[in-house]
Amino acid sequence: MSVLDRFDLTGKVAVVTGGSRGMGRSIVRAFAEQGADVVIASRKRENCEILATEIQDATGRRALGVACHVGRWPDCDALIDTTLREFGRIDILVNNAGMSPLYEDLAAVTEELYDKTLAVNLKGPFRQGVLAGTHRAAHDGGSIINVGTIGSLIASVHELPYACAKAGLNALTVGLAEAFAPNVRVNAILPGAFATDISKAWSEEMRSGAHIPMQRTAEPDEIVGAALYLASDASSYTSGASIRVDGGVTRKVGG
């Protein structure tokens, strides 16, 4: 097998939450281009189905759009069940869906905001990771990728509930890696500042990327290298790891 062959995903089925836009969209397209059939999940089914059609037309791979609110366990269960019913397997799960609500200050954080943030960023990935991991451990293995944030290591006062949830996701990554070893690999990607929809709410300083050693924010496609590595046989001896894709960030900004 050549080095490039190790990145081939032919015959694999990948589920990507938050897959209809931003980094999730880039991951979906990359996986399909590498031969995987893909399940695109987000809260808005129409957006998922539009992308699924685009993927099928562009790559010839099978693509399915599924509505799923990852903060609700019944939706998580239904996503896994639907994938197994339609494709018969799940080889790759990417827990990419996330949310970071704005608030005026820490005292203004409501219980509802806090609970919603943890539900989407941690509770859902826990449930989906357990279901997908249990399935793959009983078969011939697979890969789970949790998309977190560099903010889980360098937290800001302006996104603290989000950072807390994503720090939990880091712990989940290590725990699931042990739970489903040796056949299932579980790893995390910790992105820094990416120019996605969420960046529209950032300050001008953050959008400029001036605080980042590489002096810019990243484009969504720049997540693809890490995602393909972790999804494929190229990372056959990598598990429980967190890969930073953050431009070399060493400090928090704005808080």
Q: Tell me the catalytic residues.
A: 162
Burial label for 8, CB within 10 Å (0-12, 13-18, 19+), is: middle
Which amino acid belongs to residue 69?
H
Q: Residues 19, 28: contact at Cβ < 8 Å?
A: yes
In 3-state terms, what secondary structure has residue 201? helix
| φ and ψ at residue 142, rounded to 5 degrees | 175, -160
Query: Helix, strand, coil % (nearest 5) of the chain?
Result: 50, 15, 35
Q: How many CA atoms lie within 13 A of 85 on its CB side?
A: 8
Rounded Cα distance, 210 and 59, in Å: 37
